[in-house]
Amino acid sequence: MRRKYKLIIIILVSTLLTYFIYFFNREEKINIVALGDAISSGETAYNIDGISYNDYLKEYFENKRLLKSYDASFSYKNYKIDDLITDLKSNITKDNAKLSMQQLIHKADIVTINIGEEELVKITMTDDLTKEYLDKFIKEYDDLLYMLRDISEGTIIIVGFYENSYLDKSNVIILNSEVSNIAIKYDAIFININDLMLTEDYYASKSSYYFNYKGHKIIADMIIHSI
């Protein structure tokens, strides 16, 4: 009889020990959603998608076996901030997708955003970037973050603006200052990449404002260190 009880106790202790080892060592896997324009999707100087900072972020969590899902279906070339807001309000669902846009963002543990650099650069190619347009853009950014924070309880990461041959320093200072304040307002993380992106080694071509893989890797590292 004693041997029987002893065996039961050993089994119970082993089961409990296994459970506690699992419980205290388990790590929740995360869902990542990437929002943005050509910068977010990794557009290159050769007009094709390369490796973006979001891809490096995905790879980082995959290597640690912590990634549950990754969605970049709302990151693509010529995607403007008012397009993003419209899609979010309409709660669109991409073809063959199981979840709507709001559902994706709601379940995301990390949401990255880089929107507007491409839009503003294209304006400066043919016209001046007026104060009225900047004010409108900043207001839209606030609207966007209000909506995202209303949907998501996860970590929202905003990748800021940077100088290039089209977007000058004065406008970048204004944009980064205003958007970093918006980030604080909505409990988001703002990543200021402007100083780093002045390094020529992060571009494949001097005539292009798109980063190469080195530039995207640096941004991914900054994001990882911030979370």
pTM of the model: 0.84
Nearest-CA neighbor of 219 among 79, 85, 62, 60?
Answer: 60
User: Mean pLDDT lowest for which of 2-16, 73-87, 89-103, 124-138?
Assistant: 2-16
CATH 3.40.50.1110 for domain 28-226, yes or no, is: yes
184 class by beta-carbon count within 10 Å (0-12 exposed, 13-18 middle, 19+ buried): exposed
pLDDT digits (tens, 9 = 90+) for 184-220: 999 999 999 998 878 888 887 777 888 888 999 999 9
Mean pLDDT confidence for 104-116: 96
What residue ranges do the domains of the chain occupy? 28-226
